[in-house]
């Protein structure tokens, strides 16, 4: 029986910025394969290429060379409009800074992606309420961001990422602005969404405690994948080589 097609696959991806003396190689022959339903953390020191890899996966950047395949389709061969459709219909984004609109209710913030899809107002509202309930914010629909705690704001941001029913959630330092208690709450929520709803999660983080929630860690150094394995395997390997 053939192995299932990975949802995300980077093949020998290189990304170079600038020219001549200003040239920087952010990714250098990177190979990454992520299966449907996986929870993967991408880690590494500053300048390792982890953020560039996340931008590549999110169709916010394109390789200088190599291939990016999403569900077996070569993303590099898609038009600009097809890139936008891929992001809109298959990917959900969660950022460190929440990126919620001020003076706009949690419900309206979560509705926003569906406005871009042209969904009727009644359906938008229904789905936004369901998404907020899923992340534990039922009853907070009318609150704007200033009336929500940091953890609640990130939950609202996760609801906004969920509302389009994405196949993959890309989380960029999702606990970076939160204290330890709230960070654990958000990681438990992401773990629950992964296990219950089988959403593939790709997360960039610099915190081992948060990466420990993932099934697998991809450790990058100087634009290359240095190691990959369970969190225990990768962290143990790193401590032995330190």
Query: Is pLDDT at 80 greater than 80 in this prediction?
Result: yes
Residue written as tokens 């309930």? 133
**Domain spanning 8-241 has what CATH number?**
3.40.50.300
Tokens at 199, concatenated: 């959403």
Helix, strand or coil, per DSSP, at residue 127: helix
Phi-psi region of 139 (alpha: psi -120 to 50; beta: other; left: phi over 0): left
Contacts (Cβ under 8 Å, ≥6 apart) of 164: 88, 89, 92, 113, 114, 117
> What pLDDT, on the 0 to 100 scale, is given for residue 3?
63
Query: Is pLDDT at 79 greater than 70 in this prediction?
Result: yes
Mean pLDDT of the chain: 91
Q: What is the pLDDT of residues 90-130, one digit of tens each?
A: 999 998 888 889 989 999 999 998 887 888 999 999 999 99
Predicted model pTM? 0.91
Of 90, 200, 78, 186, residue with least CA distance to 135: 186
Segments making up each domain of the chain, as ranges: 8-241
User: How far is it between the farthest Cα atoms of the chain?
Assistant: 57
Contacts (Cβ under 8 Å, ≥6 apart) of 82: none
Q: What is the pLDDT of residues 146-203, one digit of tens each?
A: 999 999 999 999 999 999 889 999 999 999 888 899 999 999 999 999 999 999 999 9
């Amino acid at each position: 029986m053939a192995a299932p097609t990975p949802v995300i696959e980077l093949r020998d991806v290189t990304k170079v910025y600038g020219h001549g003396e200003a040239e920087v190689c952010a990714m250098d022959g990177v190979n990454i394969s992520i299966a449907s339903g996986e929870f993967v953390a991408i880690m590494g020191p500053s300048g390792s290429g982890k953020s560039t890899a996340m931008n590549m996966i999110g169709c916010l950047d394109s390789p200088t060379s190599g291939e990016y395949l999403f569900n077996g389709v070569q993303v590099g061969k898609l038009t600009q409009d097809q890139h936008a459709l891929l992001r809109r219909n298959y990917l959900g984004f969660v950022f460190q800074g929440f990126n919620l609109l001020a003076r706009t209710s949690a419900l309206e913030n979560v509705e926003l992606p569906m406005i871009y899809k042209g969904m009727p107002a009644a359906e938008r509202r229904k789905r936004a309420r369901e998404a907020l309930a899923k992340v534990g914010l039922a009853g907070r629909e009318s609150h704007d961001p200033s009336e929500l705690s940091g953890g609640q704001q990130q939950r609202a941001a996760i609801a906004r990422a969920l509302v389009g029913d994405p196949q993959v959630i890309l989380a960029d330092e999702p606990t970076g602005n939160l204290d330890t208690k709230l960070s654990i709450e958000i990681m438990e929520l992401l773990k629950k969404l992964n296990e219950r709803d089988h959403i593939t999660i790709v997360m960039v983080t610099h915190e081992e405690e948060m990466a420990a929630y993932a099934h697998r860690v991809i450790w990058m150094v100087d634009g290359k994948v240095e190691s990959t394995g369970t969190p225990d395997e990768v962290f143990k390997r790193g401590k032995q080589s330190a």
